[in-house]
Amino acid sequence: MTMHFLHFNRLNGIVFFSSWSAILFLIIPSANAEYADVVLNKYAESAGMRPVIYPHWFHRIRFRCKVCHSELGFEMRAGANKVTMAEIIDGKFCGMCHNGEIAWSVEYCDRCHSGLPGLKSGIIGDNETSGPGRW
């Protein structure tokens, strides 16, 4: 009798925890953008455009970090770069490649200006640490 009772308790625990973990998994929207995605919204939304989403994962398949962070002059700190459309059209920053030759040109506004309204500038850190505090 006692054994049965204990057995039940353990099963009950399994039922309880696994159903809750499953329910939490399903209910909590697992809206995880890709690690190292950058939101650029210093100027975009105040100028009536969607914020820019920059995916590191896409770019690092094609270019090593040093290409943008050394040659193109991007500071390695989210929010530290004053990237304006005027400069991009001038061929600086994104405009080094996004000129219609290496990558799509500035006329495809919505491919970069693709973020949800109201996003804050910054970088998406890891799901466990949420990135270092200062990002």
Partner 1 sequence: MPEKILFKLAYILLPFVLIMIGLSVYSAEQSKWLPLANDGLHDPENVALQALQNPREALSVLPEDYIGNKVHWMKALDEGFIQPRTSFNESTSVVVLDLDIIMKRTGEMPLVLFPHRQHTEWLDCKNCHNRIFKMEVGANPVNMFSVLQGEYCGRCHGAVAFPLTECLRCHSVARNKFKGNFGAQYKNKAHEKDVRQLSEKVEKL
Q: Given the rule CB under 8 A, which residues bind partner 1?
A: 1, 4-5, 7-8, 11-12, 14-15, 18-19, 21-23, 25-26, 29-37, 39, 50, 53, 55-58, 60-67, 69-72, 76-78, 96, 108-111, 114-117, 119, 123-126, 128-129, 131-135
96, 72 in Cβ contact below 8 A? yes
Closer to partner 1 by Cβ: residue 45 or 84? 45
Give me the least distance between CB of 86 and partner 1, in Å please.
21
Give me the least distance between CB of 113 and partner 1, in Å please.
8
Give me the least distance between CB of 82 and partner 1, in Å please.
18
Closer to partner 1 by Cβ: residue 34 or 90? 34
Closer to partner 1 by Cβ: residue 5 or 46? 5
Measured from the Cβ of residue 105, the count of other Cβ atoms closer than 10 Å reads 14
Measured from the Cβ of residue 60, the count of other Cβ atoms closer than 10 Å reads 13
Give me the least distance between CB of 130 and partner 1, in Å please.
9
N-terminal to C-terminal alpha carbon distance within the chain: 58
Distances (CA, A) of 9 to 5, 17, 22, 41, 67: 6, 12, 20, 53, 60
Q: Provide the sign of the torsion angle of the four alpha carbons 118, 91, 81, 131, taken in this order.
A: positive
